Structure 1
Amino acid sequence: MSLDLYYCSTIPGCRAVLMVGEALGLTFNLHPLDVHNKEHLRQEFIEVNPLKTVPLLKHEGLVLFESHVICTYLINKFGKDDSLYPKDPASRAKVDQILYFDSGTLYKNLINCLDPKHPKCAYIKARESLSVINRQLGQTPYAAGDQITVADFALVATISTAEAVQPDLSRHPNIVTWLRKCKSVIPGYELHNEPGVQQFAKLYHSKKQKDGSEVNDKNKSGV
């Protein structure tokens, strides 16, 4: 079995894949790419993935280039049970709903908000997106129900990245409680997620300083 994973540790989706792999006891052949220095634009990688994105997984001739798809594929293929990605249609739909929200709304809005020159509307959208998750976590202990699922792996990678540069999440107390819990129970969090989060924060603050931008008053109050 050969699992080749092309990744960049600052990207939340890459870290989610690594944590899922840890939970499943998998060993990847790791191919780190520094996207900040445009290593993903090298011709040899473009030949593998014309979209020039990471993460990318190669397994027995199969090539997958979307983090949530990679995570669910690994669970379906190697999971000993369906606890991380339930087979029951209703339960799976709840997980998928969070995964789609993460990739299509939450991640985009948080990244836009973290741009030091972001417009006010990006900040508002980021807060609204977090409010959706906070409301959900007021109903269930984990993102898609009573048990931890792949949805939590994806969300924790995204939200911990935002927390590292906008640490005040006090408007979303359910997220604060959930995040603290996930950091202690998700396999490989300290190994695979935390270093990438800190690296992202370092790059963020370095870029902000280089651009000469200041954190304005509304950012000081957190998202």
Structure 2
Amino acid sequence: MVEANFVSAAELEVELEWKVIDLMRLEHKNAEFIKVIIIIFSFYFKSKSMFSHMIKHQVNPQHTIPLLIFNDVVIADSHSICTYLSEKFGETDRLYPKDLVKRSLVDSRLHFDSGHLFARMRFLYEPILYNKSSEMPEDRIQYIQTAWDIMERFLENSLYVCGDKMTIVDLCLSATESLTEICSMDQIAHRNVIMWLQRMSQLPYYEELNRDPSKKLQTCVIELQKKNAGEF
């Protein structure tokens, strides 16, 4: 999730220079994207320029975004990018704990995001975005809602997903959650998730870097769904 990297960088006070890749034009499938670097990131940490250059590299055989380039480091997964940024630029380990037990819990819930919640969202959206489907099958919506049930248990006795302090998993999961608003949450059954999202929305950068881009994607999905159905 690109938005997860937006908010993680903002929390760490790291400025990133972004190269936009148009998925609807399938620019991520372009051969140049996987052979030669076409994305340049410049880092500014605490307003001090750290580097700015372009390299040639075997970039991304997965054809996925986001993609991070830092010196000779190439990282092609949003969760891995978040952990890298936290390790590289975090002045403390508050976002990604060094304690093995605490880190294992964060890692396990990052895997929950990538393997369950985000994957289920993709199953709902991608047929509409790329295969001209006009359907949002009820069973796929329910599959997302069962992931919320799991999150409800994560948040049963804590303010955040891994305890009472925010970590990168909150930034990642809130980015994914923002994209699933097409599926309505139960105000009672998902009470803890809703309160957690409200808590996350108080972050000063949340609306601009997370909520607004997510709304644009959801609008795109709805409009394409209608177009695929021949409604306009």
TM bin (shorter chain) = 0.7 to 0.9
Name the structure 2 match of 1:5: none
> Residue deviations 1:137-161, cap 9 Å, x none?
1121101111000010000000011
Aligned counterpart in structure 1 of residue 142 of structure 2, from 114, 120, 124: 124
Opposite residue 101 of structure 1, the aligned amino acid is F
Corresponding residue of 1:34: 22
What is the deviation of 1:191? 2.1
**2:90 pairs with one of 79, 86, 90:** 79
1:19-98 → structure 2 map (5 Å cutoff): 19-47=7-35, 48-98=59-109
CA distance 1:113–1:213, shift in 2 (3 Å) = farther
Larger RCO of the pair (alpha carbons < 8 Å, separation 6+): 1
Q: How many residues align?
A: 200
SS in 2 for 1:58: strand
Determine the C-alpha separation between the residues in 2 that align with 1:174 and 1:168.
Answer: 11
Gap runs ≥5 in structure 2: 36-58, 129-133
Distance 1:18 1:36 in 2: 21
Give the AA of the match of 1:198.
Answer: K
**TM-score normalized by structure 2?**
0.81
Q: 1:37 offset after TM fit, Å? A: 1.7
Cα distance in 2, alignment partners of residues 118 and 192 from structure 1: 27
Matches within 5 A, 1:42-191: 42-47=30-35, 48-114=59-125, 117-163=135-181, 165-170=182-187, 171-185=189-203, 187-191=204-208
The answer as to whether partners of 2:66 and 2:77 remain within 8 angstroms in 1 is yes
Q: Please, what TM-score do these two structures have when normalized by structure 1?
A: 0.84
Structure 1 counterpart of 2:5, from 14, 17, 24: 17
TM-superposed CA distance for 1:53, in Å, is 0.5
| Counterparts of 2:119 and 2:137, CA distance in 1 | 14
Query: 5+ residue gaps in structure 1?
Result: 1-12, 215-223
Cα RMSD between the aligned structures? 1.8
Larger radius of gyration: 2
**Which of 211, 218, 232 is equivalent to 1:194?**
211
Instruction: List structure 1 segments (4+ residues) > 3 angstroms apart after TM superposition.
Output: 113-116, 118-121
Q: Spell out, residue by residue over 1:5-29, the C-alpha distance to the aligned partner (whole angstroms, 9 max, x if none).
A: xxxxxxxx11101111111111112
Relative to total residues, which structure has the larger helix share, 1 or 2? 1
1: CA distance between counterparts of 2:33 and 2:93? 33
Residue 213 to residue 125, structure 1, CA distance change in 2 (3 Å): farther
Identity of aligned residues (%): 32
Aligned equivalents of 2:138, 2:11: Cα separation in 1: 39
Give the whole-Å Cα distance in 1 for the aligned partners of 2:183 and 2:145.
11
Q: Which residue of 1 aligns with 2:220?
A: 203
Given that 2:106 and 2:162 are in contact with CA atoms closer than 8 Å, whether structure 1 keeps it comes out as yes
